[in-house]
């Protein structure tokens, strides 16, 4: 596999003290409980909206929320790989993307001595034009650095949910 061009991807890993089957289930079935809220993370902003990932190949990743114009559903992507408890991949698009513009998120769940190592790789950004609105005026390398921090926040939230440190409730058991 060739090395991606600079500014094409962000990769983040987090250790979670649960076995891969439990973390895969948490990632997929409880995505709305760990995916951060607020305008930086959701179209609905805060506190409203729901993020859902439909299981299996072809399943949708979507956000539903209410607006002044009525209920809205934004499909952010579709599942392209579904290999519980080891791997998940889905296309991903920002709300400012054109219909043909997609990126890819790959998530690996690897067993470790202390639980799981979850690695998220979000790639495909080099295919978008340099002045694309999703880049927020940043050059490609700076944008992918910022994207890595964004995914880092998300994975910290996933780990907090897994350990019961979030405001949503108790510890999950594998």
Q: What is the DSSP string of 43-98?
A: TT-SS--EEEE--STTPEEEEEEEETTEEEEEEEEEEEEEETTTEEEEEE--TTS-
Query: Among 91, 70, 92, which Cα is nearest to 80's?
Result: 91
What pLDDT, on a 0 to 100 scale, did the predictor assign at position 162? 96
- The Cα 20–Cα 28 span in angstroms is 12
What pLDDT, on a 0 to 100 scale, did the predictor assign at position 46? 63
- For 10-163, which CATH superfamily applies? START domain (3.30.530.20)
Is 32 buried (19+), middle (13-18) or exposed (0-12) by CB count in 10 A? Answer: middle
- Residue matched to tokens 């910290």: 156
What pLDDT, on a 0 to 100 scale, did the predictor assign at position 174? 39
- The Cα 156–Cα 105 span in angstroms is 17
- The Cα 33–Cα 12 span in angstroms is 20
Domain residues of the chain, as ranges?
A: 10-163
pLDDT tens, residue order, the chain (174 aa): 566 666 789 999 999 999 999 999 999 999 999 999 877 788 776 667 899 999 999 999 999 988 888 888 999 999 999 999 999 999 999 888 898 899 999 999 999 999 999 999 999 988 888 888 888 888 888 888 999 999 999 999 999 999 987 644 333 433
Strand partners, 79: 90
What pLDDT, on a 0 to 100 scale, did the predictor assign at position 41? 84
Query: Measured on CA atoms in the order 11, 14, 20, 22, is the torsion positive or negative?
Result: negative
Give the predicted TM-score (pTM) of the model. Answer: 0.88
Structure-token pair, residue 42: 């959701």
| Secondary structure element (H or E) that encloses residue 143, with its range | helix 140-163
3-class secondary structure, 3: coil
């Amino acid at each position: 596999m060739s090395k991606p061009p600079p500014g094409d991807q962000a990769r983040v890993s987090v250790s979670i003290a649960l076995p891969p089957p439990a973390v895969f289930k948490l990632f997929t079935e409880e995505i709305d409980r760990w995916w951060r809220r607020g305008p930086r993370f959701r179209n609905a902003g805060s506190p409203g909206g729901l993020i859902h990932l439909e299981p299996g190949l072809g399943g949708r990743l979507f956000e539903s929320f209410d607006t002044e114009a009525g209920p809205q559903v934004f499909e952010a992507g579709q599942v392209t790989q579904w290999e519980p408890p080891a791997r998940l991949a889905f296309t991903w698009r920002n709300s400012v993307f054109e219909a043909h513009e997609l990126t890819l998120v790959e998530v690996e769940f690897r067993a470790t001595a202390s639980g799981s190592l979850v690695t998220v790789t979000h790639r495909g950004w080099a295919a978008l034009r340099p002045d694309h609105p999703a880049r927020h005026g940043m050059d490609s390398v700076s944008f992918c650095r910022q994207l890595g921090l964004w995914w880092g926040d998300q994975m910290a939230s996933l780990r907090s949910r897994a350990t019961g440190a979030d405001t949503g409730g108790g510890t999950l058991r594998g």
